[in-house]
Chains A and B, each alone.
Chain A
Amino acid sequence: MSEARAQIIQSIRRALKRDALNAEAERALADRLAEPKRNLIPARAARLDHRAQIDLFVRMSEEVQTTVARVSSAGAVPGAIADYLSQRNLPSRLVMTPDPQLDDVPWAERPMLEIRRGRAEDADQVGITACFAGIAETGTLMLTSGPESPTRNNFLPDTHIVVMRGEQVVASYEDGWTRLRQRRRAEGQSPMPRTVNFITGPSRTGDIEQRIELGAHGPRRLHIVLIDDAASA
């Protein structure tokens, strides 16, 4: 294998008509990787104040068939979810990630929501997760994997409910990356989690006669409960 590696690198250098880059050139490229610079960021979300970014996030989410419920406090979340489920005649047995971001929601106030905290299984039809950020530019959720946020919880249940706060909304993907790098450095973690999911609407396919159908393999429904309190402004 290392022979193949050497040959491939050789082949590249021969084609580019040079040897390996000299130390200075290498350092310049290494610096580019160590201190990533942003390219052009569209003005769409970036030029807005945070309030307006939240509104944009909601609008763009709804455009891709994500439903959004805005509540004014964590206390209102269980009721909002119970309403959502009963309106659609969906089961009230739920799997919820062990994510600490979900801990201060008073779930016990709605005992009809039978919540199991843990990893999603095949039989789970409704799942609740938190998220890392919401990207206003395109109504995209950014979710990171971890011991308390298994990736499969975003994909196995038929209905995916995300509980998030307004202050998690950022303008661009680049803002999301900056936040992630800062958070992981601050917490002494490796630079990246195993998986970062950018989710924009429910699962879909156009593979049959170009007609968009929801619920191909991932969730058929994506619902956001957005805690839009004073801290969000």
Chain B
Amino acid sequence: MPEMPPRVGLFVTCLVDLYRPAVGFAAVKLLEQAGCRVEVPLTQTCCGQPAYNSGDKADTKAIARQVIAAFETFDYVVVPSGSCGGMIRLHYPELFADEPAMFQRAQHLAQRTWELVSFLVDVMKCEQVAARYDGVATYHDACSGLRELGVKEQPRKLLQSVAGLRLSELPGAEVCCGFGGTFSVKYPQISDKMVGDKAADIAATGADTLLAGDMGCLLNMAGKLSRLGKEVRVRHIAEVLADMTGEVSPIGVGEALR
């Protein structure tokens, strides 16, 4: 455990920034509760994944350079998303494989970049959170977090410690929800089929709440559940762990912020 409070740069992600600031504030609260000093570099925009997955390496590199410059001085960079976290941690070094100087910097940043829940458990050694949530929740393992960053047990560990919350394992938790960023735009019908299957699995658990660690997946699943008329509350796991569910309604429900 670090002696001085670790200086953490929050990479808030474009979807949290645009769609659901509550997740960003929940992340800040959790990090501060864990003993970190949190800063939010103002020049952050996007991690570059949409460009990367569309084969536009030039733009991806330009965006990545920005991110590296903005974040490389922090002790840690924490991201409330497995896919953006994976982009920085795994793909930034790959991007600069042919530029030794940038590669070093990317590598240096990558090694200190973490998805939020895995940071809390694996780095800050959190065993529990002080939170209450009355309900039966099921948890979807977002693909990048799961397969690129090894996020699997950590969210479950912390959810177990939430008072009043019962966890009902989602069959096919590891099966993709069909978002895939640009995929949901390029192949919307296939995406819709995949999220339809996911919604059926969610409904079968009988859970009243769906949680995950990635906004893209959450928007996708929330949109499908609401179209199907399913009464499932969809939230980012950070909101529950930070005990902030009273402050914002679930995704896709209720009133906008004034």
Consider the complex of A and B and state whether they touch directly, i.e. have CB atoms less than 8 Å apart: no
Residues of B within 8 A of A (CB): none
Residues of A within 8 A of B (CB): none
